[in-house]
Amino acid sequence: MKMKKAFSVLMIFVLTIMLIPQDIFACDLKDNCQSLDAGSDAVLAYYDVKTQTETLITEDELQAVVSNAQRKRSVDTAEFEPQSASEPQEQKLLTKKEKQMFDDAKNNTLEYYGESQKSTRAIDNRSLVSNPQADPYYRIAKLYFSETTNAAGTQKAGYMGTGFAIGPNLCATARHCLTDDYGNWSTDFQAFYGYNGYNNTYTHQFTNVSAYIYYPQYITGRSADGKITTDSNYDVAYVIWGERTVEKTGCFGMSSEINNGMSLRKAGYPGNRDDGYRMYEAYGSVTSYTDLRLDCDNIYCSGGQSGSPYFDSDYYVHGVITHTRMPSNQVVSGESSGRRYDYSLIVWLQNNNYV
């Protein structure tokens, strides 16, 4: 187990209720009382799928949790340890319906871009993961989202992305995988952990979404027709499954530690390799970072890998892939970028027993 001090992506690709803080407020999304429209100072949010209500956590409330944690232990990084699966890994064959589902979505990934002044294309350094049902790869899931529709019509056809296990029952991914063009949450999707397209098997499947944890700052406004505008700095969310999953899937650790040159790798399901049926990984390092983001210009990625983890050799995740860069010449570069894990988020998740 890794020992660290004291407790211790741009093209956008494609987490059971436990404890909810009582000193926060909620609003009914059916009344359009979303945090983006309310003009609040909310910095974290929780959406209950059954009741369709959003609970907001303000900056003051978040910092109160962090300050209390710091009084108990003087640290400058926050961590949650990784855990291997304790139950035997079963190989389950995809049903005919599931196989057809993947066939229909094999070339459908979400492709958004971030600006870059670079004019050179990154080297595609991805390699095939021959056995995605080995550790740590079985902690990573291929996500399939059914077609989403609303009053405005079809917003997204069936598409795919990547997610990974965190804590007892969370699945981290990119926020843009989970909402449509109008900000509506997707509740009809499936996660296939350890998916292997070579023999159409997986280890475990989950569909029972209970709630989401996310940054309300992701949605910055709405156009006249109701479509949302977004901030990629907050493009990450956590699916809360309606059951405990860690014994079956294991989980990655979380770490807020970051530095230039830190060695990392990522693994996920790229749509432009084997039609998204196989898992690929790439190794590289952190080339730049801010309080919110980290860039790994030497780790190549593409559509379908949104929500993939940036993790180290001890299976601690330091961020979630959300974009790839597009240089000024409009040629997709493949240089990956993502939302980094920050100290406050990890402490809040720990304080509320999510990790």
Domain chopping of the chain, boundaries: 25-351
pLDDT at 236: 96
CATH of the structural domain 25-351, one choice from 2.40.50.100, 2.60.40.10, 2.40.10.120, 2.60.40.2700: 2.40.10.120
Q: What pLDDT is stored for residue 75 in this prediction?
A: 56
pLDDT at 229: 93
Mean pLDDT value across the chain? 79
| Nearest-angstrom CA–CA distance, 10 and 30 | 33
What average pLDDT does this structure show over 287-309? Answer: 89
Q: How confident is the model at residue 19 (pLDDT cuts 50, 70, 90)?
A: very low
pLDDT, mean of residues 23-42 = 45
Angle at the Cα of 259 from the Cα atoms of 253 and 261, rounded to 5 degrees = 105
Give the per-residue pLDDT at 98.
Answer: 76
Residues 124-147, buried b or exposed e (16+ Cβ, 10 A)?
A: eebeebeebbeebbbbbbbbbbbe
Q: Are 146 and 161 in contact (CB under 8 A)?
A: no
> Is 72 a residue whose pLDDT tops 50?
yes
pLDDT of residue 208: 93
The tens digit of pLDDT for each residue in 194-249 reads 999 888 899 999 999 999 999 999 999 999 988 999 998 999 999 999 999 999 99
Q: Is 337 left (phi over 0), alpha (psi -120 to 50) or beta?
A: beta
Instruction: Write down the pLDDT at residue 266.
Output: 95
Tokens of 344: 């406050």
Residue 172 has pLDDT above 60, yes or no: yes
Whole-angstrom Cα distance, residue 36 to residue 28? Answer: 13
Alpha-carbon gap, residue 238 to 339, rounded angstroms: 13
pLDDT of residue 326: 53
pLDDT of residue 349: 93
Residue 108 in this model has a pLDDT that exceeds 80: no
CB 342 within 8 A of CB 291: yes
